[in-house]
Structure 1
Amino acid sequence: MESVYDICYLHNEGMMAAAQKNWTYIYDNLGNEIHCLKHMHRALNLEFLQHFFLLCSSSNNGFLSWLDVSLGQEVLQTKTFKGMLNVMCQNPWNGVICCGHTNGTITMWTPNSKKAVLSMLCHPQAVRALSIDPSGKYIATGCVDRTLRIWDARNVGDPISSYRLPGGIDKLSFSQTNFLGVSSRNVVEVYRNVGIQEKCDLYMRHHSNNAVTGLRFCPYEDVLGCSLYDGYESLLIPGSGEPNFDALEANPYISGTGRKETEVKALLEKVPSDLITLDPLSIAQIDVPTLEEKLEAKKKLHWVKVPKVDIQPRYRMKGKSGSAQRFKRKSQMKEHEKREYLKFIKEKKETLRGNMTKEKVFQQPKQHLLDRFKPKKRKVD
């Protein structure tokens, strides 16, 4: 008997998370309560990052929270200072969370930073709906002034296309084949060729008996699900689903044993949350300026000279400050200073080489079975 604002599945269909009135709960496929997440307070939207095993929630008081489902630990909870976060979605390509705000901007967040990694002004008024296609290339935003804009997520700048719709936009949803579903009160419109052409083609239009509150395409099926105030409708949209599925990625005919093996494999291949960035390809790149600085510092250390040491020993009484004694003590102190400096240079070199020791291990050649009959070499003193 509590209001439920959002529901999302976790790594498989056996577990789901529900954002209820006060806290977020996790249930199994039989409806049994497994966990109660009290730090996700008054959540409005839920998103599950599949490859990172992270559950993200946006709350009514402007907080974003990330929870590691595999370990049960909270990764980060930060305040956005943007008001109520009722518009949120994830970018499936890089795992970045996108939020729409009342000032017409969308912000992108990662669990590695307490500040937004990107802020973009999309509309002059509040953003009502937000959706990103499965490839992570295009962003669709809807505003209260009845404008729909398509943006390129890889090169943020001017919008690719902009449309003026007859009614206000409530929900947006991308399909696997770049079909875009738009709901406006009780009207549902489907556009195709989103991002490919400057103007999207209106593919289908449907009038419902009541206002549409939710919109989502069914993966690998030509079905668009619409939730209404008083029920649910399924719309057939030919060509909206991916016809060929990868059994290693998502297998609808998987058995119980295969589901367990897939879950263990996914846990072993879990990507750490520290690797979530706007450009995931930058992880495999080389930081050329930093590498050049390290090489230059290493070259300088190879040709460094021992500095000249000018030491004046203190005067000693009882005949211990003669010229011979002073020269001997001065030489010992200079030698000690040189050794300390060379030791410091050696530690610097090892640090630049990645804390690798300079000791070389010489492997002895493999002995043959008949080597015992060879004459032994005598040691020469």
Structure 2
Amino acid sequence: MADEPAEQELLTLQASSRKKKKPKQDAYLGGVSDRKLKGQLRHTERLYKEANKAAATINQWLAPSEAGFVEAEGIEETWQIQQQQIVAAVEQGAARKAFDLSLPDLGPYRCTYSRAGRHMLLGGEKGHLAVMEWQSGHLTCEVQVKETTRDVTFLHSEQFFAAAQKKYVYIYDKRGLEVHCLRGHAAPEVLEFLPHHFLLSSIGEQGVLHYQDTSTGQVVATHRTRLGPCDVMRQNPHNAVLCCGHANGTVTMWTPNITTPVVKMLCHRGAVKALAVDPTGHQLVTAGVDRQVKVWDIRTFKPLHAYFANSPATSLDISQRGILAVGQGRRLQLWRDCLSRKAAAPYLTHMLPLGGISSLRFCPYEDVLGVGTAGGVSSVLVPGAGEPNFDSFVANPYASIKERREQEVAQLLDKLQPDTIMLDPDTVGKVLKEPVDVAAQRRQEEAAANAARLASQRDKADERAKMKGRNKPTRRQKKKQMNIIEDKKPLLRAKIQEEERARKEVAQEAKRQKLESVPRALHRLYQ
């Protein structure tokens, strides 16, 4: 009996050791009385913890936030590295992005990419048009218009694209069916689409710049450049101002709300063959027949530096990371960090196997350069060219069908008016408040100018002789008729005088006879 308390104490200690301890993470749930709600909160907390662990595990495999470039080893320069070596060094997914499409019968070709960089648009000079998802090689549509095609461009999305054909500009949908024929754009040479304003612009042989709203179908503006035919035009992505290169070596900048160029720069001693604008809108690169490639500061309109070449450059383009692509015949040069300062040597070089270069376009958010040549289309790997991080509200390469539809609606709601296109877009919406003394002085000057104008108008009115109806249309016609029969004027005057004399005599005779018929006392009433 004496051992019973000891045994009971031992059993109590074992039972207490077998009890489960409550987890510390449930301490904040002590005040929750609803068991169902408490279970839901525990489940949510567990999901959050699992997600944090997964994010921490994946974080080390995420893509770097900065673009990577090719680095030379030893004494080798980067421009000596061949495209085959780059393709062999990268992963298999990136290596598939380099390819050559041989289309020797329908070129030369012009190529461009959609805003998201997912689709590529090809346009052959002999009428071949095609849209493809270039990464997977899937052909979306293909059509032969059987007419000369000089340029192509996507509209607000890859669902529609425009082609500058022999006579007019045509718009096609993703199936290759003709949707519209813009007859106002006659003989176009080059096209540009302003995505934030939904404006399709064209210029061609007549030197007339057209702006057309693709959302409403209205022609917003038509400007005559008066500088002859033009086949070089690019837009400034910063302020949507169009830059046109002309045969006299000048570059003009246009907005739809001003009929004259807002800027006119003399850039070369010959025709301008190509131009490109930096994505920041600060630098302009031009190439002319004088075999120079010049870099200009758009903010001051002054040249920064110039590059000399063996032959005139025919195509230019600038990537999102500031890499400049220069096409000369079959030779392709890529320059890195060449805009803010003068580079000593090119970043990469490549010799195209398909013929002379006709167009260059960097793919957004990819280290890829699309090259349209006389014999087809080539895709060249350029490490460090594209922006590694994309904004899904601007362009999402991985958007679903529903997201693309919603994005199109958002673009229409955020559409900007053509009046907002100007050299300095930061001035839109600003209100400049004048000081009190400056405003008072300005009002006094306006009042004095108005008073002087009114005084001059009054003086002119006083000096003007009053016509009193002498300038009526009937009077002018009578004068003209009198001038025609000037030789008969004396006879007519004599005849009129004779008729007047006879009328007076008849009137006097009638008066005399009337007086004889009344008494003499009443004659005074007929005087």
Q: Deviation at 1:200?
A: 5.7
Q: Does 1:263 align with 2:408?
A: yes
* 1:102-251 superposed matches below 5 A: 102-157=247-302, 159-199=303-343, 201-209=345-353, 210-251=355-396
- Counterpart-to-counterpart distance in 2, 1:29 and 1:21: 21
Q: Secondary structure at the match of 1:257?
A: helix
Q: Deviation at 1:252?
A: 0.8
1:70 is aligned to: 215
- Counterpart-to-counterpart distance in 2, 1:261 and 1:291: 49
- Counterpart-to-counterpart distance in 1, 2:433 and 2:150: 47
Selected match of 2:238 from 78, 93, 101: 93
| Larger Cα-atom Rg | 2
Change (3 A) 1:27 1:242: same
Contact 2:210/2:222 (<8 A) preserved: yes
- Counterpart-to-counterpart distance in 1, 2:192 and 2:335: 25
Paired residue type of 1:180: L
Q: Secondary structure at the match of 1:151?
A: strand
Q: Does 1:53 align with 2:188?
A: no
Selected match of 2:160 from 15, 23, 29: 15
Q: Which has the higher helix share?
A: 2
* 1:15-54 superposed matches below 5 A: 15-54=160-199
Q: Deviation at 1:288?
A: 4.4
Paired residue type of 1:202: P
Q: Deviation at 1:222?
A: 0.8
Change (3 A) 1:227 1:297: closer
1:347 is aligned to: none
Change (3 A) 1:162 1:258: same
Q: Deviations over 1:136-180 (max 9, x none)?
A: 1110000111111101111212x1111111221100011000000
Q: Give the root-mean-square deviation of aligned CA atoms.
A: 1.9
Q: Deviation at 1:196?
A: 2.6
Change (3 A) 1:297 1:216: closer
Change (3 A) 1:290 1:259: farther
- Counterpart-to-counterpart distance in 1, 2:322 and 2:271: 25
Matched positions, count: 299
Paired residue type of 2:339: G
Contact 1:191/1:200 (<8 A) preserved: no
- Counterpart-to-counterpart distance in 2, 1:238 and 1:213: 22
Q: Secondary structure at the match of 2:409?
A: helix
Q: Deviation at 1:232?
A: 1.4
Q: Deviations over 1:207-230 (max 9, x none)?
A: 123111111111111111111111
1:252 is aligned to: 397
Change (3 A) 1:203 1:69: same
Paired residue type of 2:386: G
1:358 is aligned to: none
Give percent identity, aligned residues only.
Answer: 42
1:355 is aligned to: none
Paired residue type of 1:102: A
Paired residue type of 1:191: W
Contact 2:335/2:343 (<8 A) preserved: no
Paired residue type of 1:77: T
Contact 2:271/2:288 (<8 A) preserved: yes
Change (3 A) 1:6 1:291: farther
Paired residue type of 1:29: K
Contact 1:173/1:181 (<8 A) preserved: yes
- Counterpart-to-counterpart distance in 1, 2:437 and 2:324: 47
- Counterpart-to-counterpart distance in 2, 1:281 and 1:78: 25
Q: Deviation at 1:197?
A: 1.9
- Counterpart-to-counterpart distance in 2, 1:153 and 1:46: 22
Contact 1:21/1:42 (<8 A) preserved: yes
Paired residue type of 2:254: W
Paired residue type of 2:366: E
Selected match of 1:5 from 150, 153, 159: 150
Paired residue type of 1:42: A
| Higher relative contact order structure (alpha carbons within 8 Å, sequence separation ≥ 6) | 2
Q: Deviations over 1:18-47 (max 9, x none)?
A: 111111011111101111100011111110
* 1:269-348 superposed matches below 5 A: 269-289=414-434, 294=439
Paired residue type of 1:50: P
Q: Deviation at 1:125?
A: 1.4
Paired residue type of 1:221: E
Contact 1:109/1:118 (<8 A) preserved: yes
Q: Deviation at 1:95?
A: 0.7
Q: Secondary structure at the match of 2:264?
A: strand
Deviates more, 1:232-241 or 1:283-292: 283-292
- Counterpart-to-counterpart distance in 2, 1:292 and 1:71: 46
Q: Secondary structure at the match of 2:428?
A: helix
Unaligned ranges ≥5, structure 2: 1-145, 445-527
Selected match of 1:80 from 204, 217, 225: 225
Paired residue type of 1:142: A
Q: Secondary structure at the match of 1:102?
A: coil
Contact 1:62/1:82 (<8 A) preserved: yes
Normalised to the residue count of structure 2, the TM-score between the two structures is 0.55
Contact 2:211/2:222 (<8 A) preserved: yes
